[in-house]
Structures are given as C-alpha cells and as structure tokens.
Amino acid sequence: MGKGKIIIVGGGLAGLMSAIKAAEAGVEVDLFSVVPVKRSHSVCAQGGINGAVNTKGEGDSPWEHLDDTIYGGDFLANQPPVKAMCEAAPGIIHLLDRMGVMFNRTPEGLLDFRQFGGTKYHRTAYAGATTGQQLLYALDEQVRRQEVNGLVHKHEYEEFLSAVIDDDKVCHGIVVQDLKSMEIQVYRADAVIVASGGLGMIYGKSTNSMINTGSAAGELYQQGAYFANGEFIQIHPTAIPGEDKLRLMSESARGEGGRLWTYKNGKPWYFLEEMYPAYGNLVPRDVATRAIFDICVNQHLGINGENMVYLDLSHKDPHELDVKLGGIIDIYEKFVGEDPHKVPMKVFPAVHYSMGGLWVDFDQMTNIKGLFACGECDYQYHGANRLGANSLLSAIYGGMVAGPNAVRYLKGLDKSSEEESSALFDDAREREKERYRRITEMDGDENAYVLHKELGEWMTKYVTVVRENKTLLATDQHIQELMERYKHININDTSKWSNSGASFTRQLWNMMELARVITLGAYNRNESRGAHYKPEFPERNDEDWLKTTKAKYNPDTNGPDFEYEPVDISLIKPRKRDYTHDK
C-alpha cells in the first residue's frame, strides 16, 4: 500500500498535536473542525499545564505527579498510561517553550511554576491566565507550517457526521458536512483520530464553549464504540454565573493565594482552610465543589442567601495579579463590572470537564479498529476526578500517543482505504444524506433550543454535585420524553446554506444519547468516588466498584448496556483519599 492517510476530527490541542506528529512521520493528514482550529475550546483553559520539572528545589518528580494524579482521581484511572504521561510532561513543557509559548519566567529567565489544587508542589507552568490559548496558538502555528509544507489539509467549518465502519468493525473514513454549503461528503482514510473534545453543552450552561456538544463522541457511541466512565463529570468550584454561560475563574486564582470564604455568624469564614488544614484552598475540585455546595444549598450560608461564595484576591499585590492572572481578572471585570483587585469575586460551581469519554486502549485506539481517540473525548488519564492543569497535559500527551500509533497502525495494514469497495463509502454518505433530509423536513411545534435548555436544566439539577438514585431515574425518564418530543421539532429554517439550526438539531440527539449514558452510569454506580457523590452511598467501595464503566449502545432499547472492566492498579495500591491531612 501507499503512504496512507490519516483523518483527524477536531482541532484543539489533542487534534493538533496528533496532526503534527503524523505529519512529522510524513503521513498526510486531513484535519476536520467545526470552527477554525484557532477558536477551539482549548483556548478557554486558563491556569496552566502540569509537569514535574522540579525547578524550585522541592524534590518533585514524575512519580509524585503520578501519585497526585492517581490519588486525585480516586484510583479509577489505569495507572500505566498515567505514569507515561507524567514522565513525558517535563519534555512536553520544554517542547511548548521551544515552540514559542510565552510562559511566565523567573528572574533568571527560566520557566516559572505555580501551585495548583491537589498537590504540594509548584508544578504548573503557565502563561498568565490564558495558558490554554497560548498552547493552542503554538500548536496552531506548527500545524500552519505543516499546511504550507503540504502535509496537513485543513477542512474548517466541516462537521463530522459519522465514521465509515465495515462489518469487521474496522474504520475506513468519515462522512462530513460542509457547514456553509451543507453538502455531505465522504472521506477515506486508513486511520481516524477523534479529538472532538468535551460535552459540557449537555448541561446547557457550563464553563464549556458552544461547540462542546459531545456530538461526535455520541455518534461514535451509537456506532458501537464504548463510552467509558461517563458518570464522572467534573464540577469546577469557581465560576461566574451568567445568562449565556458560566465563566470559569481558574483554580490558579487559589494557586496564587486566592481564598474562598463566606460570612458565618457575621464574620468571614474561610471554610476550606478550616475544613482541610493540610491543603486549605488547594483541595481538588470535587472536594471544594462539595464544600461550597453544602454551604450554600444545605446550610444557606451563601452570600446574601444566594448560591454564591467569595473568591478573594483583593489582599494580593495588584501588579503581580496582572502579570500572573491578568486573563481572568479581565474576564471578571468585563462581565461582572467589578474589580477583583479591590473586591472579592462572587463564584459558584459549574460543570467543567468530562473525565469519561470514548474507551481507548493504551495506544489510544477505541474498540473499533483504526479509530483512535484523544483529548477530553477519551477517558484515559483522570479517573474519577481530574487534577487542575492536567487537562492541557493529557490533551497534548494523548495526541502525542494517538498520532504515532495511528501511523504505526496504517503502516501495518495490507490494504489501503483507497482499495476498499466504493459501496461502503457510498452507503455511508447516502445514509447521512437521508438523515439530514429528514431533519430539514421536521415541521412539528417544538423548538430544538428550547428542548436543549430543558435537557440542560434537568442534567444540572440532578446529575452534578449530589446524585440520588430516585432523581437519576426520573432524569433518565425525562430524557426519554425529550427524545419523544424531539420528533416534533420544527426546524424553522429551510435554508440550504449555512443552516446552524439544522446542525444543532442533529447534535441535540447525540447529546441526549450521551445524557442517558451519564445519568444511568451514575445511577448504577452505588458508591461515592471522586466527582461522583451519592449521599445514599457516601463511601468509596473498591470491592464492588473499582472498575471502569463501559457503556455500549443497544439499538433495540435505544439506550446503553453497561459492562465493567477492572482498573490497572499495578503501580500504586489504592488507599483512602482524605485531604484533611497530607497523603
């Protein structure tokens, strides 16, 4: 066979990194993205990227990083890939530095590192408070360079509709739709890497960008890919409530000395410092979120009785704040109109990150041959809760693993996708054309955006911080009702040109399918672990539940069947997770 061809779906950090790796190996890449890749959701990451470079004489090491990550993830992550990631981390930070990322520096001109939640070390490299944006731009620039070299072909404003999968469960390409001309086309490839990001839009309002519908992953799940650990959704403790979205206030605010407090008996109460003396404000996110939630919802001690607490930076040096946290200070000032240099910010938890995602093996390949996944859309690196500043790392590292493994996979094929029969591809395209035609003809009386809002409200209310079996079941019932009402959507817009409403309607179905995976996964898991907290089962139960959830789509029931798989704990023995004292 020839040199082979790789398709990458998604142009965030994971997609771009895998594209660079594949191009570097001399393989041509078709890169698909619903937005210009420079606008991918990776830009929203603020605080930094972890790597045990150990420049502060603290004795940090990749092993410590591994231990913090596994412990922070409540032992649900398979340990060998996490170890490999932590070992690669310092090299990744140096690589990004060489690409020109404007990381903050020490007086000697070396990389500076700050502290983040769930660790005792200064392990987080950062570029102000817009680290994700800076990293994405660096990779975007390298991909642009490969584009000029002729190895990467970008297809921006083209949406992944489905994978082309043969009867032997091997992936040979994808079907896409041009979001301007609305034309549906099929592309052949010898390997497909999906790096389609998170699914926060399932919750309506979250810290996620508007493209984070999880639609691509949801479609692949319906095509037979396993979706793993879906019930683990990270709720970030500090976000600004908003009409259109919940805007993240980075954990780096606390890493740089920010304190959480509210009034109790008329006096400021620094609750995290009191409850968790060892880690104080730098407990992992799930822990901080549950504390805030309990204080506001159960104890009614939020600011003015509302669901908000203070995140206070006003005691810090204003110039230092600008240099280290400028990005988020700007966001708060622009959207709230108050100056965090002077007054404490008002924040509340918000849906932030999906630890779960497409199931992949240690080579980042899904259970469908030739179909790889990396970035937030996979489930590999964070277990039951992700540590702050590990997401940028896992996205880039996932791409670094997926890219070369996709190349290795296609080199081992004895038949190129170009030689596959065209019937397979024609059928796939026609199927999508038919599906799209049916969407454009929907003329009921429901509005897709209204249904979405309702989905988000239910998911946010019942499948976030505190989960109860009764309401989880009710939520699943409600999602199924929404799926019924979905059939009566009115498309409102019959334009055959740049019709975002039709695209959204298609995505909404995939969102609802994944919503069921999340909800039922949570319902089944009768324990509390990491971000998954059930008052009915408040303890972690390793005996029954130290295992990975794998959801498999059942077309007959239009819902998930669940399987469970043991977790690889070959490196660190599980121990009780308790942040009231040092681990």
Partner 1 sequence: MSEESRPKSIQLIITRQDGPDAPPYKETFEVPYRPNMNVISALMAIRRNPVTAGGKKTSPPQWEMNCLEEVCGACSMVINGRPRQACTALIDKLEKPIRLEPMGTFPIVRDLIVDRSRMFDALKQVKAWIPIDGTYDLGPGPRMAESKRQWAYELSKCMTCGVCLEACPNVNSKSDFMGPAPLSQVRLFNAHPTGAMNKAERLHAIMGPGGIAGCGNSQNCVQVCPKGIPLTTSIAVLNRATVGQSFRDFFGSDNM
Given 41, 429, 532, 550, the residue binding partner 1 (CB under 8 A) = 41
Residue 343 binds to partner 1 (criterion: CB under 8 A): no
Residue 210 touching partner 1 (CB under 8 A)? yes
Does 267 engage in binding with partner 1 (CB under 8 A)?
no
Site for partner 1 in 93-122 (CB under 8 A): 94-95, 97-100, 102-112
* Type of residue found at 522: A
In the region spanning residues 165 to 184, those forming contacts with partner 1, defined by CB under 8 A, are 180
Among residues 421, 500, 558, 570, which is the contact residue for partner 1, using CB under 8 A?
500
Three-class SS of 17-86: HHHHHHHHCCCEEEEEECCCHHHCHHHHCCCCEECCCCCCCCCCCHHHHHHHHHHHCCCCCCHHHHHHHH
Q: Which is nearer to partner 1, 184 or 248 (CB)?
A: 248
84 binds partner 1 (CB under 8 A): no
Contact by Cβ (8 Å): 171, 352: no
Nearer residue to partner 1 within complex by CB, 32 or 232:
32
From the list 26, 36, 80, 268, which residue makes contact with partner 1 (rule: CB under 8 A)? 36
Neighbouring C-alpha atoms within 13 Å toward the C-beta of 258: 37
Task: Say whether residue 503 binds partner 1 (CB under 8 A).
Answer: no
**One of 63, 263, 270, 449 touching partner 1 (CB under 8 A):** 449
- The yes or no reply on residue 137 touching partner 1 (CB under 8 A) is yes
The sign one gets for the Cα dihedral 224, 230, 236, 239 is positive
Residue with token string 């082309």: 164
Subset of 353-392 contacting partner 1 (CB under 8 A): none
- For 202, 325, 330, the CA distances from 241, given in Å and listed in that order, are 17, 19, 16
Of the candidates 170, 233, 181, 175, the residue with the CA atom closest to the CA atom of residue 207: 233
Tell me the β-bridge partners of 239. 248, 348
State the Cα–Cα distance between residues 251 and 495, nearest whole angstrom. 43
d(CA 578, CA 572): 16
Count residues contacting partner 1 (CB under 8 A)? Answer: 74
Instruction: Choose between 49 and 517: whose C-beta lies nearer to partner 1.
Output: 49
Angle at 127 between CA 84 and CA 108, to 5 degrees: 90
Taking CB under 8 A as the rule, does residue 38 contact partner 1? Answer: yes
Report the residue from 9, 127, 175, 296 that binds partner 1 according to the rule CB under 8 A. Answer: 127
Considering the complex, state which of residue 105 and residue 576 has its C-beta at the smaller distance from partner 1. Answer: 105
Determine the Cα–Cα distance for residues 360 and 451; give it in Å rounded to an integer.
32
CA distances, 4 to each of 25, 148, 184, 310 (Å): 11, 20, 23, 55
Q: Please identify, using beta-carbon distances, which residue of 287 and 508 lies nearer to partner 1.
A: 508
Task: Considering only the stretches 40-48, 163-171, 259-267, 375-383, report the one whose residues sit in contact with partner 1 under the rule CB under 8 A.
Answer: 40-48
Window 403 to 442, contacts with partner 1 (CB under 8 A): none
Q: In the set 211, 410, 424, 455, which binds partner 1 (CB under 8 A)?
A: 211
Determine which residue in the list 1, 3, 26, 145 makes contact with partner 1, applying CB under 8 A.
Answer: 145
> Which strands, in side-by-side order, build the sheet including 122-125?
49-50, 122-125, 113-115
With respect to partner 1, which residue has the nearer C-beta, 11 or 344? 11
Question: Cα 583 to the chain's mean position, in Å?
Answer: 27
Q: What per-residue string of b and e applies to 519-551 under the rule 16 or more CB within 10 Å gives b?
A: bbbbbbbebbbbbbbbeebeebebeebbebbbb
The CB-of-35 to partner 1 minimum distance in angstroms stands at 6
535 near partner 1, judged by CB under 8 A: no
Closest by CA position to 172, among listed 218, 223, 226, 211: 223
Q: Which stretch binds partner 1 (CB under 8 A): 1-9, 38-46, 288-296, 437-445?
A: 38-46
Query: Closest CB to partner 1 among 267 and 319?
Result: 319
Contact region with partner 1 (CB under 8 A), list: 5-13, 429-437, 446-454, 568-576: 446-454
Active site residue 285: yes
Provide the β-strand partners of residue 562: 551
Query: Per-residue x/- marks for partner 1, 230-249, CB under 8 A?
Result: ------------xxxx-xx-
Binding to partner 1 by residue 83, rule CB under 8 A? no
- The CA distances from residue 53 to 58, 60, 62, 314, in Å, are 10, 7, 8, 30
Q: Which of 188, 247, 285, 540 is catalytic?
A: 285
Pick from 299, 477, 494, 580: which binds partner 1 (CB under 8 A)?
A: 494
Distance of closest approach, residue 81 Cβ to partner 1, in angstroms: 18
Kindly tell me which of 55 and 223 has the beta carbon lying closer to partner 1: 55
Instruction: Look up residue 319 and give its two tokens.
Output: 């110039």
Q: Please give the positions annotated as active site.
A: 285
